[in-house]
Amino acid sequence: MGMKMDRRGFIGAAGAAAATAAIGGPARAAAPLKVGFVYTGPIGDGGYTFQHNLGRLALDKALGTAVKTSFVENVAEGPDAERVIRQLAQAGNELIFTTSFGFMDQTIKVAKAFPKVHFEHATGYKRAPNVATYNARFYQGRQVQGQIAAMLSKSGKAGYIASFPIPEVVMGINAFTVAARKVNPKFVTKVIWVNTWYDPAKEADAAKALMDQGCDVMCQHTDSVAPLQAAQTRGIVGFGQSSDMSKAAPKACLTSTVDSWGPYYIRRAKEQIAGAWKSADTWGGMAAGMVTLGAYGPGMTADAKAAADKIVAEIKAHKLPAMVGPIKDRTGVVKIAAGAKAEDKDLLGMNWYVEGVEG
Amino acid sequence: MNATIVVSIAMSIVAAATPLLLAALGELVAEKSGTLNLGVEGMMLLGAVSAAIVALTTGDLWLAAGAAALAGALGAGLFAVLTLSLTANQVATGLALTIFGQGVSSLVGKDFVGREVHRLPEVFPAALAEHPLARVLFGYDAFVYFSVAAALAVAWFLSRTRAGLVLRAVGEGDSSAHALGYRVIAVRYGASLFGGAMAGLAGAYFSLSLTPTWAVGLTAGRGWIALALVTFSGWRPGRLLFGAYLFGAMMIFELQAKAFGLTLVPPEALAMAPYLATIAALTIISAGRAGANLRAPACLGKPFRATA
């Protein structure tokens, strides 16, 4: 069962629910598990928040009347978030997912006040006995994209529209480039930092600038469909980000890296109901079903499809690490020794660029 | 750097400048009549979402453009009723209109997010725009030519027609204009509605051409740049036309410089250049004589109540 609330309607409901909770205590034999979600964007963003909401809907569908989910969208990162998270806890939610990095400190703070409520914070690194963290290995999608890009590119140059130089984005650029250079050792990734997660017109203009420079495959770590549409206008191809973007640019979209939170939400809700929930740090990828590929577009050749399927199978079988040495950075310094592989901590702290990255 | 790249950059600049020009022209006329509507961003979003919905449901792009103009004008109408008839504070009402436009557009556009809108066609046949140099002139859709024509038309209207003179009189001295028998409120209603329609069209340019789809917050703050542009222009349409292309060029050069790997000028400096230019223009205007003919309309933002 799903239920939408805006923040205003929520305050009254929260008070009433808090009163019942105080009388009722923890006896919850047949009552559904209440699960709350805090979103940073609107569920209609067609990207990051949209995908988290799909995960919530998947949870509704999988557990039916055993859960009762609610969400608050468009929550500003900062003090406002603390208020919203606190209200969700007071409203009797026993499991609360805060889905953006910027909710980290607020989640920890509210969790201290509600030791019996379990919190899950996406993409953060601070945990507590009742606060778990979770994230997805998006770089695995980049490994597939790099392979396809190098196979299909005639110029040997991909354009990469990047948001902010944080490890999450940097490791994607590197994983992409390393995968591409396995196919074509001279492959170049040209990066433009647009300093925003979402500005469609600016993203489109950045795509045009990259195409002017001869890039013939477009990659993005921003949220709008605009770069793919710009690629389609010029008859080139690219990859969708966060959600399946093939509807917005059917000819240009080769495939998309899709965030798939449903499997994780379902697993954790089941553990909560069984009383087996424990604080943990989950970084799941394709094997866990948390990162998937969108539909293949018309630009995918049979060879490219076969190669992509093969990489996905290898990643799922844990046989294809993100990077295996020797890997040099742009100045020629060896960063990962021959034969060694990049560990999770290397990826999560990545602040340098591999050879072949420009911009 | 070859000719193709230069042409491509020039065309990107024109595309970036067009929505700024459309929205700023409308706001310029509204401000010339004495109303300051800070809701440009909101009206643009109303236009963008209306155009996308009509284009996706009917497939008729001209109907979509019409709907966008109407939606923008409705937003401006709301503003006009509140500020002109009910004399609400213009600054607060304009800001509220922006927030209102953001909310309404994301609500009504919910089922249309991320769907491909068929892009506006070019006006001239492809054969005419084949040569790169010809493409710079003949390679655009109707909005681009309309925006330039509108700038010339507004310039002519304000400086050469009686109606334009009345509109300026209302903006410079509302009590005097009223004493002379001109209907101050009616003129301001007309100017506001025109401003709203133009902002709506500017929004439509996003969802029909620049980024042919609908997504929440599609215009991403361009309405504020358009507002800055009106001030930068010193309330003159000719300067506004120049300013729109200058701002468009600064936005495009920021990205092209990054693509080229140029580091001579930090790209961040280019990103803030439109705002710096506006501040510089304001400073010059307020510095005295040199800017005397570039001042804001005397009654800008002030409520008008007929006394007799």
Candidates A201, A210, A224; nearest CB to B259: A210
CA dist., res. B218 & res. B49, Å (int): 9
Q: What is the pLDDT of residues B101-135, one digit of tens each?
A: 999 998 999 889 888 898 899 888 888 888 888 88
Residue A257: Cβ within 10 Å count: 29
- The sign one gets for the Cα dihedral B234, B239, B241, B244 is negative
The confidence band for B46, taking pLDDT boundaries of 50, 70 and 90, is: very high
CA dist., res. A45 & res. B106, Å (int): 9
- Residue range A139-258+291-318, CATH number: 3.40.50.2300
Q: Residue B83 pLDDT > 90, yes or no?
A: yes
Task: Supply the pLDDT for residue A7.
Answer: 44
Residue A348: both structure tokens together: 């999560």
Task: Supply the pLDDT for residue A167.
Answer: 87
Name the residue in chain A with its Cα closest to that of B17.
A201
Query: Which residues share a beta bridge with A35?
Result: A69, A95
CA dist., res. A150 & res. A145, Å (int): 9
Candidates B116, B218, B255; nearest CB to A200: B218
Question: CB of B140 within 8 A of CB of B205?
Answer: no
Chain A closest CA to B26's CA: distance in Å? Answer: 21
CA dist., res. B308 & res. B290, Å (int): 37
Task: Supply the pLDDT for residue B291.
Answer: 59
Answer yes or no: is the ipTM higher than 0.90. Answer: no
Amino acid at position A94, single letter: E
Residue with tokens 């992409």: A176
Question: CB of B193 within 8 A of CB of B37?
Answer: no
CB-CB under 8 Å, A248 with B260:
no
Stated as kind and residue range, the H or E segment containing A1 is: none
Residue with tokens 């806890």: A89
CB-CB under 8 Å, B271 with A205:
no
Candidates A46, A196, A201; nearest CB to B211: A201
CB-CB under 8 Å, A44 with B106:
yes
Q: How far is CA A24 from the centre of its chain?
A: 37
Chain B closest CA to A20's CA: distance in Å? Answer: 33
CA contacts within 13 A on the Cβ side of A83: 10
CA dist., res. A59 & res. B89, Å (int): 47
For B218-223, what is the mean pLDDT? 91
Query: If chain A, 359 residues long, is cut into consecutive pieces of 10 residues, what is the mean pLDDT of each piece?
Result: 45 44 46 94 80 96 95 88 96 96 94 97 93 95 96 97 90 96 96 88 94 95 91 95 90 95 96 95 94 95 96 93 90 91 89 92
What would the DSSP string read from start to end of B29-78?
HHHHTT---TTHHHHHHHHHHHHHHHHHHH--HHHHHHHHHHHHHHHHHH
CB-CB neighbors (< 8 A) of B250 in chain A: none
User: Which residues of chain A form CATH 3.40.50.2300?
Assistant: 2-136, 139-258+291-318
Choosing among B105, B115, B214, B216, which should be mutated to test the A contact, i.e. which has the most A CBs within 10 A?
A: B216
DSSP assigned state of A223: S
CB-CB under 8 Å, B258 with A208:
no
Task: Supply the pLDDT for residue B196.
Answer: 98
CA dist., res. A85 & res. A82, Å (int): 5
CA dist., res. B248 & res. A307, Å (int): 42
Candidates B4, B8, B114; nearest CB to A245: B114
Q: What is the pLDDT of residues B240-269, one digit of tens each?
A: 999 999 999 988 988 888 888 776 677 677
Q: Which residue has the higher pLDDT, A11 or B9?
A: B9
CB-CB under 8 Å, B116 with A248:
yes
The confidence band for B216, taking pLDDT boundaries of 50, 70 and 90, is: confident
CB-CB neighbors (< 8 A) of A202 in chain B: 220, 251, 255
Class (C level, CATH) for A2-136: alpha beta
Sheet holding A357-358, edge to edge: A291-293, A253-259, A237-242, A217-221, A157-162, A188-193, A357-358
CA dihedral B35, B41, B47, B50 (to 10 degrees): -130
Q: Residue B195 pLDDT > 90, yes or no?
A: yes
Chain A closest CA to B275's CA: distance in Å? Answer: 16
Burial classification of residue A116, based on how many CB atoms lie within 10 Å of its CB (0-12 exposed, 13-18 middle, 19 or more buried): exposed
CB-CB under 8 Å, A194 with B259:
no
CB-CB neighbors (< 8 A) of A224 in chain B: 211, 215
Task: Supply the pLDDT for residue B68.
Answer: 98
Task: Supply the pLDDT for residue A18.
Answer: 44
CB-CB neighbors (< 8 A) of A162 in chain B: none
Mean pLDDT (chain B) is 91
CA dist., res. B121 & res. B109, Å (int): 23
Candidates A159, A204, A213; nearest CB to B211: A204
Chain B closest CA to A83's CA: distance in Å? Answer: 21
The confidence band for B305, taking pLDDT boundaries of 50, 70 and 90, is: confident
Name the residue in chain A with its Cα closest to that of B221.
A199
Residues of A with CB under 8 A from a CB of B: 41-42, 44-46, 50, 159, 190, 192-196, 198-202, 204-206, 208-213, 224-226, 229, 233, 243, 245, 247-250, 358-359
The confidence band for B274, taking pLDDT boundaries of 50, 70 and 90, is: confident
CB-CB under 8 Å, A247 with B116:
yes
CA dist., res. A153 & res. A184, Å (int): 10
CB-CB neighbors (< 8 A) of A158 in chain B: none
Task: Supply the pLDDT for residue B289.
Answer: 60
Task: Supply the pLDDT for residue B254.
Answer: 86
SS3 A219: strand
Query: CB-based contacts of A314: which residues, under 8 Å, 6+ apart?
Result: A320
Task: Supply the pLDDT for residue A26.
Answer: 46
Chain B closest CA to A46's CA: distance in Å? Answer: 6
Candidates B8, B220, B261; nearest CB to A208: B8
Q: Which of B2, B52, B20, B10 is nearest to B228 (CA)?
A: B20
Name the residue in chain A with its Cα closest to that of B205.
A201
Candidates B211, B217, B259; nearest CB to A209: B259
Candidates B213, B268, B271; nearest CB to A229: B213
